[in-house]
Amino acid sequence: MIAIISDIHGNIHALEAVLSDMPKEKITDIWVLGDMIGGSSPFSIQVLDRIMGLANVSAVQGNWEVGLTAIRKNGYDDLRAGGTQTAGHVYIMDSLKSHHCDFVEQLPLTKQIGDKLLFHGTLDDPEVKIDSQSHAEAVAANQDAKWIFCGHSHVSQMYKVGDKRVICVGSVGLSFDGIGGTACYVLLDGDHIVFRHVAYDVDAFLRDAKENGMYERQPGFAVATELTLKTGKNHINEEANSLGEFANNFNGTWEEAERAYVEANHKW
């Protein structure tokens, strides 16, 4: 039996709940589909330590790991040009040790294990999500893999494409499945797929995150994260899009723009 997890986004509380839920006597491998780090969570280093300490793990990079690798090589210039530099990037880079970065950098973008193909978003781009039957069909075309596993959408979904299956495994740390207070992952047992939704203590995560400065570093994203975790509905993208437009017209740093945005809009 294989456990497949994705999009932890530094949520160590959700990860621990998922690991505890796994039938350990039956699990032979754990596959991690990227975005172990990221978001506004202050616990990316703890998540990486936990993943690196597990046996029989195969992992690929997600868009956050790709971004970390780019920052390490090129500094923040690429992020500034794209208008996406945030206090979260800075905090994560300041927190991680060289061995964490080395681990992340050596991960591939895709990995094939027998008749199973792993990647984060799509084969070509970890920033693009599979969210429709037609997109799943396009991704599965010309692939010899019977099972295709991906993350990034934060929604658990399986698409049938002939005799192939494209499985979006959902998110451990920031699920958009509409079930508040749960983490999602997948179990593969032979040809049998099980989507697991595991309850965990969201309030404990938010309390510990607040004590570690999440609400001070990223006030807008922190509250959007809180709403998402409690409802299981995506408040992150709305926040990112609105804040990005505001920040691009703001004369100051991204962090200053985020505070000004929250104060101006009084959204929460």
Q: Cα(142)–Cα(127) distance, rounded to whole angstroms?
A: 21
Q: H helices then E strands: how many in the chain?
A: 12, 10
Closest CA to 133 of 175, 164, 179: 164
| pLDDT for res 202 | 97
Token digits of residue 63: 């868009």
Residue 54: CB partners within 8 Å, gap ≥ 6?
19, 30
Residue 80 pLDDT grade (very low, low, confident, very high; cuts 50, 70, 90): low
Long-range contacts of residues 159-166, Cβ cutoff 8 Å, at least 24 apart: 159/130, 159/133, 161/136, 161/137, 164/140, 165/193, 166/130, 166/136, 166/139, 166/140
Tokens of 45: 């280093």
Give me the residue spans of the domains in the chain: 2-199, 203-265
| pTM, to two decimals | 0.91
**What length is written for the chain?**
268
Query: Does residue 244 surpass a pLDDT of 80?
Result: no
Residues 6 or more apart whose CB falls under 8 angstroms from that of 250 comprise: 256, 257, 260, 261
The CATH code belonging to domain 2-199 is 3.60.21.10
Q: Give the pLDDT band (50/70/90) at residue 82.
A: very low
pLDDT at 85 > cutoff 70: no
Q: DSSP E strands: which ranges in 163-210? A: 164-169, 182-189, 192-199
Q: Which strands make up the sheet holding 29-32, listed edge to edge?
A: 57-59, 29-32, 2-5, 182-189, 192-199
pLDDT in tens, 86-121: 667 778 888 889 999 999 999 999 999 999 999 999
Identify the band that residue 217 occupies on the pLDDT scale cut at 50, 70 and 90: confident
Amino acid occupying residue 33: L
Angle, CA of 199, 183 and 66, to the nearest 5°: 160
